[in-house]
Amino acid sequence: MGFGDAVLQGGKKAASPGKASIMALGKAFPHQLVMQEFLVDGYFKNTNCDDPVLKQKLTRLCKTTTVKTRYVVMSEEILKKYPELAIEGLPTVKQRLDICNSAVTQMAVEASWTCIKKWGRPPTEITHLVYVSSSEARLPGGDLYLAKGLGLRPDTQRVMLYFSGCSGGVAGLRVAKDIAENNPGSRVLLATSETTIIGFKPPSADRPYDLVGVALFGDGAGAMVIGSNPVQEIERPLFELHTAIQHFVPDTEKIIDGQLTEEGISFKLERELPQIIEDNIDEFCVKLMRVAGYSRKDFNKLFWAVHPGGPAILNRLEKKLELSPEKLSASRRALADYGNASSNTIVYVLEYMLEENNKITRRESEAEDSDWGLILAFGPGITLEGILTRNLTA
CATH number, domain at 314? Answer: 3.40.47.10
Looking at the whole model, is its pTM more than 0.75? yes
Cβ neighbours of residue 118 closer than 8 Å, sequence gap 6 or more:
24, 25, 26
201 and 251 belong to one structural domain:
no
Closest CA to 21 of 188, 237, 291: 237
In whole angstroms, how far apart are CA 55 and each of 35, 78, 359, 368?
A: 16, 23, 41, 46
Secondary structure (3-state) at 145? helix
Residue 269 maps to a domain: yes
Domain count, the chain: 2
pLDDT by position in tens, the chain (length 394): 334 444 444 335 777 889 999 999 999 999 999 999 999 999 999 999 989 999 999 999 999 999 999 999 999 999 999 999 999 889 999 999 999 999 999 999 999 999 999 999 999 999 999 999 999 999 999 999 999 999 999 999 999 999 999 999 999 999 999 999 999 999 999 999 999 999 999 998 888 788 999 999 999 999 999 999 999 889 999 999 999 999 999 999 999 998 889 998 888 888 899 999 999 999 999 999 999 999 999 999 999 999 999 999 999 999 999 999 999 999 999 999 999 999 999 999 999 999 987 776 444 544 556 799 999 999 999 999 999 999 999 7
Structure confidence by residue, pLDDT tens digits, 94-110: 999 999 999 999 999 99
Residue 121 maps to a domain: yes
Structure confidence by residue, pLDDT tens digits, 18-40: 999 999 999 999 999 999 999 99
Please calculate the CA angle 182-174-391 and round it to the nearest 5 degrees.
95
150 and 262 belong to one structural domain:
no
Q: Which is it for strands 20-28 and 32-35: parallel, antiparallel or unpaired?
A: unpaired
Contact of 156 with 127, CB cutoff 8 Å: yes
* Rounded-to-integer distance, Cα 375 and Cα 241, Å: 9
219 and 261 belong to one structural domain:
no
Residue 301 maps to a domain: yes
Residue 4 maps to a domain: no
Residue 18 maps to a domain: no
100 is catalytic: no
Q: Which one from 62, 100, 115, 166 is the annotated catalytic residue?
A: 166
* Rounded-to-integer distance, Cα 357 and Cα 127, Å: 31
Contact of 160 with 120, CB cutoff 8 Å: no
- State the residue range of the domain holding 364: 239-391
* Rounded-to-integer distance, Cα 295 and Cα 224, Å: 30
